[in-house]
Structure formats: structure tokens, C-alpha cells
């Protein structure tokens, strides 16, 4: 039972949306189908399933780590080497605040970036059924299904006016 994927290439978003409708009518599940485009379209343009993500948790998590770490570093280093300068207290909260702020933000940004890559389900170097013309403006509709269903999908694609189909 090997999963295969098939790609249909369409000229306009309308044809892509028709193809996706066709696939649903032919009994394919939402999670089996995907739309590939060279540019973002408004959410739900192709009637596709709107993806859910948890990106907003990442910066929060990162900020907490950064804050904790920075509180530790600023206090520990100052206590470890207590040199009074400028008549200021060894634990000068107003100066430490600046370091804490920067480290919190840094950590939040880094975890956000990790989150973006993770939530985009990247890196994934095996592209599956893909065509370079997608980045030239064609709309690609992909189905990941059992090998036996490929012909059904292909028929939907040709019926919806696909310029080309590809299997991988």
C-alpha cells in the first residue's frame, strides 16, 4: 500500500477551485488535497481547508526562557564579581532591566523563527509531485492518495481543464 501523489496544473484560480471541488465530490478528504501557488491568495480562495497553527505560543515560550536566563545571568555574574562602580548597587535593577529586556526579545524572536519553520512543516526536501511552473503563476493541485485512486484524481483534473498532470 504505497501512497502516491499526483499534481494537476491549472491556468487560473477558478479552475484550481473547480478541481478541488471535483476532488471533494469524488470522495477525496481535505487532508489528502493541497493547493500549490506561486503567490499568496486570500484565505479560502480555492475553498480549501483553512490551516490551524499554534505559532503564537512560540514567542511566549521563548520570552519566558529568555527572561529567566537573563535574570540568572545578570544577578549571578554581578554577585560573582562584586565590583562597585559609580556608587551604584551591585544588583542595579534598572541596568539589569535593559539586559533582561534584550535577552527576552532575542529569545522570543529566535523561538518565533523556529516556530515559523516548524509550523510551515519545513524543512522537507522531498517535494513530491511538483512542477517549476508553479512559481511562474500556474496553480497546482496535489492529491496524496492510494495508487489505485490516482486515475480517479487524474480524471477530475482533466475534467477541470488541467494543462498538465504529473505523478510522483
Partner 1 sequence: MQQRRKLDQKQINQELLSGNLKTPKWYIPTMLFLGFFVVTGFATILYMFNKGLGVTGLSRPVYWGLFITTFVFWVGISHAGIMISAILRLTQAEWRRPVTRAAELLTVFSLLTALFFPLMHAGRPWRIVYWLMPYDFARGIWPNVRSPLFWDPIAIGTYLTGSTLFLYIALIPDLAVLRDRTTGWQKVFYTILALGWRGNPRQWLLQAVAGILLSALMLPIFVSVHSIVSWDFAITPSVEGWHSTIFAPYFVIGAVHSGVSAVVTMMALMRWLWKWNNHIRPEHFDALARLLIVVATAWLGCTFLELIFSVYGREAPEIALRELMIFTWPWNLLFIIFLLTGYIIPVGFWIFKKARNNIVIMFWTSILVNVGMWLERFLIIVPGLARKQPFTFTWEAYTPSLVEWYILVWSFAWVSFLMLLFARFFPLIPLFETKESQVFTSETKIGRATVPVIYREED
Partner 2 sequence: MAQETNSAKYSKATLDLINTTMIAPKKMKLIIMILSILSILGIIGIVLKILNGFEDKSAWGYYAATISFLLTTAAAAPMVAIAPTIAKADWVRPITRIASLFSVVGIVTALASIPLIFALPPLIVDETRRRSIWFEATNYSPHVWFALSIFGLTLCGLGLLYSSSIPDLAAMRDHGTGWRKKMGKSLSRGFIGTDSQWKSLQMRIGMMGTFYFLMLMFVNFLFSIDFALSLVAGWKDAIFPMYHAMTSLQSGIAICILAMFFARKYWGMENYIKVPQFWALSKLQLATTVLWFYFFYSAFIVFWYGRSASDQMVINLLIIGPYLPVFLGAFFLEFFVPWWILVWNRVRKSIPSLAVVACLVLIGVLLDRIRIFVISWSTYSNEVIHKKFVPEQDFPQFMYPSVADIIVFIGLVSLSTLIFILSTRILPLVSVWETHQSLLLTKVVKYVRTDVIAIGKPD
* Cα separations in angstroms, 64 against 78, 84, 85, 104: 21, 30, 30, 7
CB 10 within 8 A of CB 141: yes
CB 11 within 8 A of CB 105: no
Residue 78 binds which of partner 2, partner 1, none (CB < 5-8 A, kind-dependent)? partner 1
Tell me which stretch binds partner 1 (CB under 8 A): 24-32, 118-126, 148-156, 160-168: 118-126
124: helix, coil or strand? coil
Tell me which stretch binds partner 2 (CB under 8 A): 35-43, 66-74, 114-122, 143-151: 35-43
Tally of CA atoms within 13 A in the half-sphere of 45 that contains its CB: 16
My answer on whether omega of the bond before 123 falls inside 30° of 0, hence cis, is yes
**Contact status: 125 vs partner 1 (CB under 8 A):** yes
Tell which one of 1, 86, 132, 136 touches partner 2 (CB under 8 A): 86
Residue 74 binds which of partner 2, partner 1, none (CB < 5-8 A, kind-dependent)? partner 1
In the bound state with partner 1, the residue whose beta carbon lies nearer, of 1 and 50, is 50
Inter-axis angle of helices 13-25 and 150-159, nearest 10? 140
In the bound state with partner 2, the residue whose beta carbon lies nearer, of 37 and 68, is 37
Residue 87 binds which of partner 1, partner 2, none (CB < 5-8 A, kind-dependent)? partner 2
**Contact status: 46 vs partner 2 (CB under 8 A):** yes
Distance CA 9, CA 132 (A): 11
Q: Which residues bind partner 2 (CB under 8 A)?
A: 13-14, 17, 41-47, 86-88, 94
Amino acid at each position: 500500500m504505497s501512497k502516491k501523489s499526483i499534481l494537476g496544473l491549472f491556468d487560473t484560480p477558478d479552475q484550481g477551485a473547480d478541481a478541488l471541488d471535483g476532488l471533494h465530490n469524488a470522495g477525496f478528504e481535505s487532508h489528502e488535497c493541497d493547493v500549490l501557488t506561486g503567490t499568496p491568495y486570500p484565505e479560502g480562495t480555492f475553498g480549501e481547508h483553512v490551516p490551524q497553527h499554534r505559532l503564537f505560543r512560540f514567542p511566549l515560550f521563548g520570552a519566558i526562557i529568555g527572561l529567566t536566563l537573563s535574570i540568572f545571568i545578570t544577578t549571578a555574574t554581578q554577585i560573582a564579581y562584586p565590583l562597585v562602580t559609580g556608587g551604584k548597587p551591585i544588583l542595579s535593577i534598572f541596568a539589569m532591566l535593559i539586559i533582561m529586556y534584550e535577552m527576552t526579545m532575542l529569545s522570543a524572536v529566535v523561538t518565533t523563527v523556529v516556530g515559523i519553520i516548524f509550523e510551515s512543516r519545513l524543512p522537507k526536501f522531498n517535494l513530491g509531485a511538483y512542477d517549476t511552473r508553479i512559481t511562474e503563476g500556474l496553480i497546482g493541485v496535489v492529491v496524496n492518495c492510494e495508487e489505485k485512486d490516482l486515475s480517479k484524481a487524474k480524471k477530475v483534473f482533466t475534467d477541470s481543464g488541467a494543462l498538465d498532470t504529473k505523478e510522483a
